[in-house]
Every structure is written in structure tokens, then in C-alpha cells.
Chain A
Amino acid sequence: MAIFLTKDSKVLVQGMTGAEGARHTARMLAAGTEIVAGVTPGKGGRSVDFGERALPVFGSVAEATAATGAEVSVVFVPPRFTRDAVEEAVDAGVALCVVITEGVPVHDTIRFVARARASGTTRIIGPNCPGLISPGQSSAGIIPADITTAGRIGLVSKSGTLTYQLMYELRDVGFSTAVGIGGDPVIGTTHIDALEAFQADPGTEAIVMIGEIGGDAEERAAAYIEEHVTKPVVAYVAGFTAPEGKTMGHAGAIVSGSAGTAQAKKEALEKVGVRVGKTPSETARLMRALLGGSGRGGV
């Protein structure tokens, strides 16, 4: 099993005719994703060749979903067009919209996240995220498929490359689903949303949660874990050495005054029984030890 994305998910790609969109569509196809369509305004009626397959391009998401039954959209359009693209997907009623685009204005994100919530049908992941992968089944985004295997760990992370690092370190155990939720201040799917889904997924036995400095998402996740998560959770938090007031790459990764420090996040997680690794490799060791022991135990 997996969360949010399975081998049966029918996927469309917004921006498939662009260079990035085409490149990653080919990679997603290779990872087993059932991609059924591309969407580019003004280019409806064409098709794009991907080796043995030619994918139809539609001028709108509504046309694409009507013709193909796609319920997942992956967005590769430039920042200035992202809000329109996502709102179009929401209005067409897709169940999942994965926004890979980096550099989306926060006001735009707030608008499309609010619209998705109001719709009651669309979950947004991102923006500024690597997407998600259910290894061996499907990939929606840019997470490399060949660095890990299918298995029983669920992973949720703000960071792309740290996700890859942990997926690689734990490739022998494997993953049900790995979700990159993105490093922006406002995102559609939070750590808590992913934890809730992993808790409910029978194919997930244990959870790795990767956080970083900025905001209080990890603290809120800790409170949620205490109340609602019985599966074992191992966490990693990046940015112990980050100075106050400096944005560390991700727009959301900033320590403001005494708020958002890695230390505070680590303490909040440990307080509710989550084991927190000091480094990615130690985090992997903690997870392996946990699964090697009783396999399933309370936190």
C-alpha cells in the first residue's frame, strides 16, 4: 500500500510541453507512473512522443480529466503562471495536485491553497517540492526512482535532497511512500497531513520525518504524534548551526529571534518519544534498529 499515490493513479502533467516538464515526464514514465495526458494552454490537440508512447496534450485540465479520467496533476509551469495552473486543476476537481515549481509568490500560494481547501476535493502538495513517490508503483514529481526500493517505511520531508539521502541510506528496508512537502512558508500538505495518512496506511510500519529550521511545523507535528500516531516515528532536523535571521536556501528556513530553532524542534519531538537522529546516517541507524527489534512498537 501507499499514501496519496498508487500504481492505479492516473496522472496528467501541466507544462508537459516545456523542457522541464518533458524531461520529468519521461522519468516518471520510467518509474512506472501511469501518465495519461499533458496540459498546456493553447497547445491542445497535439501529442508528445515518449519512446513507445505518445501522450495527448489538452488545452485545459478540465478537457484532460474528462477525456482520460486523470485524478492527479503534476505542475511544472513557471512561477508567474503557477496560480492559474493550480486553480484550474482545483476547479477541474483533481484529487491531488503536486506543485513542483520553485519561486511561487506566497500570496499566490495562499490563494490556491485556500481554493483547494474550499473545494473539498483537491489535496495540494508543495509548492517548491520534489513531489512524492510510492516506489515500485508510481512517482509524481522529480524524486529519483532508482535510489531505493518498495518497503514499509513512510517518509515525509521539507527537503528534496535530504529525502533522497534517507531513501538511499534505507534502500535495503524500502519505502511505502516518500513525500516531499516543500520548504516554503505556506504549503498545501503538512507533516501532520502525511503523518495522519501514514498512520492509516496498512502498508506503512514506521515513519521517518525530516524537518528543518523555521516556523513551528515540527512542534505541531510532535503534538499530533503524541495524540494520534501509534506507529514508531524517527525524526531528523537540519539546521542546528544556522545563524539567527539568515534564510538558509528554502524561503521558510529561517530562525527568527528564538523561534524556529532546530534545538526546539528536536526537544519537542523527543518529549513525545520520537527518536531524533543527530545526522542522516544516525537517523537511518535508529530506524533500522527500531524495525530490527520488535518491528512494531509504541512511541
Chain B
Amino acid sequence: MDLFEYQAKELFARHGVPVPRGRVASTPEEARAVAAELRTPTVIKAQVKTGGRGKAGGVRPAPGPASAEVEAARVLGMDIKGLTALTVLVEQATVPLEEYYAAYLVDRAGGAFIAIVSAEGGMDIEEVAATRPDALVTTPVDPAVGMDGRSARLLASRAGLPADVQDAVADVLVRLWRVLVEEDALLVEVNPLAVTPDGRVLALDGKVTLDDNAAFRHGHDAFAEVPAAHGAAGLEARAKARGLNYVKLDGEVGVIGNGAGLVMSTLDVVAYAGQSSGGARPANFLDIGGGASAQVMADALEIVLSDPDVRAVLVNVFGGITACDAVAHGIVSALGMLGEHGVRHPIVVRLDGNSAEAGRAVLHAAGHPLVRVVATMDAAAELAASLAAA
């Protein structure tokens, strides 16, 4: 789960990482009240989970409460790269003397976390990495030892930070490591890490990704977003509530399968089939996982068929642990539960592996007029794509 900047800064503050004073607001009036409380010039920052909001006009200076209200009104509701700013962070304005970069992230190749520090913060770090890789200092962190003060000072020094701020930066690095470990984060990034005219080191921005798998040992529920009730986000939220792994895409062929890899592969095969027949594309990713019960299949079909873009559905199951006759029974009972009104598009089914023949026999015996059983993944994708384009 990616956090909003204001949530990341809440975690930072909890672990003693210095951040500017400020608070989140969801209305212009609230923004005005926060600015009045701060009694300093402020900056109004759109809360969206994407980069580039400054360029999009989502970060605006506001010298006082009145302008905070005006600027918040301009930023709230703003669309930034397809995301809507529903809240703003009203924060004490800070003019940095220097801007650095600090981050911890998972290094998949090394199987450990790495620390990245640079004296060149404040800009797109991927660009720095591409154009001046020497400006980034990267080091793996031994998971058994963590980031202690000595390693942190060495890192600050290797990054070429001025001697008089190295201790303060090292302290921040140690505290950010605590954020990473104690909150089970997969990414902690501060860009910029600023030095103020009065010599303080402050996290001016913050990006944190929490590990959803570690939710059982944290009280991070407060960070969960209230799901939107409509559109693609609505379908995704409904699927999530039923424990389904669903991602909305923008095509017409609904896809249901078992196993992440097989479903991704099915999307590709549908797209290829569409290229040669009518341009149909996959409408979604939906992995029903192992041991799919009738109820899971019913939920999956219900979600996919309620997508107004879907014109045909492809069910692609390779029974490993999952028995295909159980999947077939699931499809049949789902069709019964959804009724004629709920099932108006053709459903192409391909079953292979564990009890595949029994599964196909169940579907043939049920004889639903909209269900077509096809022998191979390729042929099933071709049929579903052509039906969706028809």
C-alpha cells in the first residue's frame, strides 16, 4: 500500500524524523484554519499518489490564511495524471538551502534492502540515476545489523554532503531505517531532504510503501483508502471485499483464471487473438487462486459481468490443486445464481489438468446456451476475442 505524503510524514514524525509543521485538509475552510494555526507562510500540496504534481500545479505557496483558502480551492479536485486530489497538506513553507535525497528500497537482485543517498535531491531521481549515476551513493544494508550511526555517517560522507550536516543527516538516516523496519515498509523515500537556513535537516516530502503482507502485525488500517463506489475503482473495491485479485483494464474480454502467471498469460493471448480478429482486448485481470469454490467462481463471474465494457468472458483454468469439475460446478451454480438477467454475454471456458474431463462433462450436461467449452487456451482466446468483437 502506497501512502499519501501526509501519512508518510505522520510515520516519520512518530519515529523522530523532522518534518515541517502542518496538517491535512479536505476543504478550503479547513486549509484556512490550519494556516491560521501555523501562523507562518504556508504551502498547499495536493495529496495524490504520483510524482510530478509540482509541474501539474498541485503545489502552491500561500503566504497567509486567506490565500491558503484560495489556493486549496484551486488544488482540491484537481486531476493529476488521472488521480483526483481529494485532500491537501497545508504545511509551513520552507526555503531549503540545500536539497538532498535519501531512500531505502528492496534490491531484488541482492535480496536485501539498499540505502541510496545523494547530494543532488529535489529533482527526479531516476533522471539523476540515468544522467549522473556517480551522484548517487548506494549501499546494501545487512538485515541482521541494520543502519547504525557509524554506517549512516559513512554514507553521508561518501555522498559528499558538507561535514557540518553529516551528523544531522546520519541521524535522519538511522530514524528512517526504523520507519522501514518497524512499520514493515518496502520503500521509504525522502526527496528532498532539505537543509534550512537555520541549519536544520527536514524531510520536505515523503514516500512510503507499506507491505500488505505484514498488515497482521500493525495498526495501519487508518491509512487504507475509502474505496470509490463507482467506475473501475468501484469494481476493484468490490472484488477486493470478496477476496478476489482483480485489476480493471480497458478492453472487452473479461478474463478469469487461476494463478497470477496464467492469468497474465491469458491476457496476452487474448490481446494477440484480438489483433487478428476485430481488435478486442482483455477487460480485466482476475485470479481466483487455488482451490476455487463455487462461491469464488460465482463472485468472479458476477464482478466481471457487471463491468459494462465486457462483451464476452474467457474462463481459463489449469487444474493443479484445483479440480476442474469443482470449477465447472462453480460456473454452473454461478450461472444459476446470476440468472438470465445477470448473464447476457457468451462465456468461453477452457479447462485442463486435474479432473478436466469431468469438468467439461459437467458443463456439457448443464447445456447453458451462452457457455462454450473449448479445448485449448489459444482457441478459447480466439473465440472469446471474436465473440467480443462481433
> Given the complex, which residues of B lie within 8 Å of A164, measured CB to CB?
318, 320, 353
Q: Is B101 an interface residue (CB 8 A)?
A: no
Asked if residues B108 and A249 are in contact (CB atoms below 8 Å), the reply is no
Asked if residues B211 and A105 are in contact (CB atoms below 8 Å), the reply is yes
Q: How far is the CB of B25 from chain A (nearest CB, A)?
A: 27
> Given the complex, which residues of B lie within 8 Å of A279, measured CB to CB?
265, 268-269, 272, 377-378
CA distance in complex: A166, B264 (Å): 15
CA distance in complex: A169, B66 (Å): 69
Q: Is A46 an interface residue (CB 8 A)?
A: no
CA distance in complex: A279, B273 (Å): 11
> Given the complex, which residues of B lie within 8 Å of A238, measured CB to CB?
261-262, 264-265, 268
Contact with B along A167-199 (1 / 0, CB 8 A): 010000000000000010111100000000000
Q: Is B267 an interface residue (CB 8 A)?
A: yes
Q: How far is the CB of A185 from chain B (nearest CB, A)?
A: 5
> Given the complex, which residues of B lie within 8 Å of A252, measured CB to CB?
108
How many residue-residue contacts, CB under 8 A, span A and B?
Answer: 171
Asked if residues A249 and B265 are in contact (CB atoms below 8 Å), the reply is no
Partner of A212, one of B261, B281, B319, B352: B261
Asked if residues A243 and B249 are in contact (CB atoms below 8 Å), the reply is yes
Q: Is A253 an interface residue (CB 8 A)?
A: yes
> Given the complex, which residues of B lie within 8 Å of A106, measured CB to CB?
106, 184, 186, 211, 213-214
> Given the complex, which residues of B lie within 8 Å of A44, measured CB to CB?
none
> Given the complex, which residues of B lie within 8 Å of A253, measured CB to CB?
260, 264
Number of chain B interface residues as a range: 35 or more
Q: Is A273 an interface residue (CB 8 A)?
A: no
Q: Is B370 an interface residue (CB 8 A)?
A: no
Interface of B (DSSP majority class): mixed
Q: Is A22 an interface residue (CB 8 A)?
A: no
Q: Is A286 an interface residue (CB 8 A)?
A: no
> Given the complex, which residues of A lie within 8 Å of B184, measured CB to CB?
105-107
Q: How far is the CB of A294 from chain B (nearest CB, A)?
A: 27
Q: Chain B residue with minimal CB distance to A280?
A: B265
Asked if residues A183 and B261 are in contact (CB atoms below 8 Å), the reply is yes
Binds A, one of B88-96, B109-117, B304-312: B109-117
> Given the complex, which residues of A lie within 8 Å of B276, measured CB to CB?
none
Q: Chain B residue with minimal CB distance to A192?
A: B109
> Given the complex, which residues of B lie within 8 Å of A10, measured CB to CB?
none
Asked if residues A105 and B214 are in contact (CB atoms below 8 Å), the reply is yes
Q: Is A291 an interface residue (CB 8 A)?
A: no
Q: How far is the CB of A257 from chain B (nearest CB, A)?
A: 7
Contact with B along A196-231 (1 / 0, CB 8 A): 000000000000001011011100100000000000
Q: Is A248 an interface residue (CB 8 A)?
A: yes
Binds B, one of A1-9, A30-38, A59-67, A110-118: A110-118
Contact A111/B144 with A162-B259, A238-B264, A241-B282 known, Cβ cut-off 8 Å: yes
Within 275-303 of B, Cβ neighbours of A (below 8 Å) are at: 281-282, 285, 287, 290
Q: Is A80 an interface residue (CB 8 A)?
A: yes
Q: Is B258 an interface residue (CB 8 A)?
A: yes
CA distance in complex: A158, B126 (Å): 27
Number of A interface residues in the complex (CB < 8 A): 62
Asked if residues B143 and A248 are in contact (CB atoms below 8 Å), the reply is no
Q: How far is the CB of A115 from chain B (nearest CB, A)?
A: 8
> Given the complex, which residues of A lie within 8 Å of B270, measured CB to CB?
241
> Given the complex, which residues of A lie within 8 Å of B341, measured CB to CB?
none
CA distance in complex: A247, B213 (Å): 14
Q: Is B196 an interface residue (CB 8 A)?
A: no
Q: How far is the CB of B105 from chain A (nearest CB, A)?
A: 10
Partner of B262, one of A113, A159, A213: A159
Q: How far is the CB of B264 from chain A (nearest CB, A)?
A: 4
Binds B, one of A47-55, A69-77, A89-97, A139-147: A139-147
Q: How far is the CB of A227 from chain B (nearest CB, A)?
A: 16
Asked if residues A114 and B213 are in contact (CB atoms below 8 Å), the reply is no
Asked if residues A110 and B260 are in contact (CB atoms below 8 Å), the reply is no
Q: Chain A residue with minimal CB distance to B107?
A: A186
CA distance in complex: A250, B249 (Å): 17
Asked if residues A215 and B108 are in contact (CB atoms below 8 Å), the reply is yes
CA distance in complex: A111, B319 (Å): 34
Asked if residues B261 and A210 are in contact (CB atoms below 8 Å), the reply is yes
Q: Is B128 an interface residue (CB 8 A)?
A: no
Contact with B along A246-284 (1 / 0, CB 8 A): 111111110001000010000000000000001111000
Partner of A165, one of B216, B290, B318: B318
Q: Is B376 an interface residue (CB 8 A)?
A: yes
Q: Chain B residue with minimal CB distance to A127?
A: B213
> Given the complex, which residues of B lie within 8 Å of A161, measured CB to CB?
257-259, 261-262, 318, 320
> Given the complex, which residues of B lie within 8 Å of A241, measured CB to CB?
249, 264, 267-268, 270-271, 281-282
> Given the complex, which residues of A lie within 8 Å of B259, measured CB to CB?
159-162, 249
> Given the complex, which residues of B lie within 8 Å of A217, measured CB to CB?
108-109
> Given the complex, which residues of B lie within 8 Å of A103, measured CB to CB?
213
Q: Is B228 an interface residue (CB 8 A)?
A: no
Asked if residues A249 and B263 are in contact (CB atoms below 8 Å), the reply is yes
Q: How far is the CB of A258 from chain B (nearest CB, A)?
A: 9
CA distance in complex: A161, B266 (Å): 11
Partner of A248, one of B142, B211, B247, B269: B247
CA distance in complex: A104, B261 (Å): 19
Asked if residues B186 and A185 are in contact (CB atoms below 8 Å), the reply is yes
Asked if residues B265 and A110 are in contact (CB atoms below 8 Å), the reply is no
Within 106-156 of B, Cβ neighbours of A (below 8 Å) are at: 106, 108-109, 111-113, 126, 142-144
**Nearest 5 CB-CB pairings of A with B:** A159-B261, A249-B260, A161-B259, A105-B214, A161-B262
Residues of A within 8 A of B (CB): 79-80, 103-108, 110-111, 113-115, 117, 130, 142-144, 147, 157-165, 168, 183, 185-188, 210, 212-213, 215-217, 220, 236, 238-243, 246-253, 257, 262, 278-281
Interface CB pairs A-B, < 8 A, 19: A80-B217, A104-B213, A106-B214, A110-B106, A111-B143, A114-B142, A142-B321, A161-B257, A165-B265, A215-B109, A217-B109, A238-B268, A241-B267, A249-B260, A249-B264, A278-B268, A279-B378, A280-B265, A280-B269
| Given pairs A106-B106, A279-B378, 15 additional interface contacts (CB within 8 A) | A106-B184, A107-B214, A144-B319, A164-B318, A187-B111, A212-B260, A212-B261, A238-B262, A239-B264, A242-B264, A246-B247, A248-B263, A248-B285, A278-B272, A281-B377
